[in-house]
Amino acid sequence: MAALVSLFADLPFAAPTVTLRAERAGDAAEREALLDAAMGAGRTRKSSEAIRRGRLPAEGLSLVAETEDGALVGTVRLWNVTAGERDGASVDALLLGPLAVAPQFAGLGIGASLMRRAVAESLWRGHRAIVLVGDAPYYERFGFSAAPAAELAMPGPFERHRLLGLELERRALAGAQGAIRPTGRMAVEAD
């Protein structure tokens, strides 16, 4: 058997077929288990979670990745927020997160595919800007940087260098200052 395995050792790993689709109500339990596995139990104590808590994601902007056999292996959601104010008016934006991929599927491009789809869907739906808290080296390839979010703040503790923004419309975050606050529908409204 070892000789047979070594015969194929130089062949690239065949990644499973993964499909991206809109999240469905029946995905909730599997999504939460995936988030716990990928991010750990402390994920609910993050500042971003305070913004999301009790709210519904932005319309049409909850996406999942699933395998051919229906297993959920990735998730990303976006949330309606105000990204501070500019000239006394709220600046509408989206908060992206969490983005997560099942640990056993990490490194296969699933997170990148979810990110590209999330940004494209956000643009297609007419949103002007996206903010997130994350690792700049990862999110820079999708157009995010610290500069557009430099004058914004999260509720509670956060690491300034990890607050990133993406302007889907030119200068959408220019001059925006202050706290990022939730504006999306409350979850109880859906019942």
H or E element: which one contains 35?
A: helix 28-39
Decide if 92 contacts 130 (C-beta within 8 A): no
Q: Which of 167, 62, 55 is nearest to 118 (CA)?
A: 62
Output the average pLDDT for the chain. 90
Residue pLDDT, tens place only, 50-106: 899 999 999 999 999 999 999 999 999 999 999 999 999 999 999 999 999 999 999
C-alpha to C-alpha distances, 87 to 99, 129, 141, 176, 177, nearest whole angstrom: 32, 17, 31, 8, 9
Decide if 66 contacts 26 (C-beta within 8 A): no
CB atoms within 10 A of CB 49: 14
Residue 23 tokens, joined: 């999240």
Residue pLDDT, tens place only, 122-158: 999 999 999 999 999 999 999 999 999 999 999 888 8
pLDDT at residue number 79: 97
Helices (H), 41-167: 47-52, 110-124, 136-139
- Overall average pLDDT of the 157-171 stretch: 95
Residue 34 tokens, joined: 């995936």
pLDDT at residue number 9: 57
Question: pTM value?
Answer: 0.88
Our measurement of the distance from residue 23's CA atom to the centroid of its chain's CA atoms, rounded to an integer in Å, reads: 13
Decide if 144 contacts 96 (C-beta within 8 A): no
Domains in the chain, CATH or no CATH each: 18-190 (3.40.630.30)
Residue type, 127: H
pLDDT at residue number 10: 62
Pairing of strands 177-182, 152-153: parallel
* Rounded-to-10 torsion of CA 12, 15, 17, 21: -130
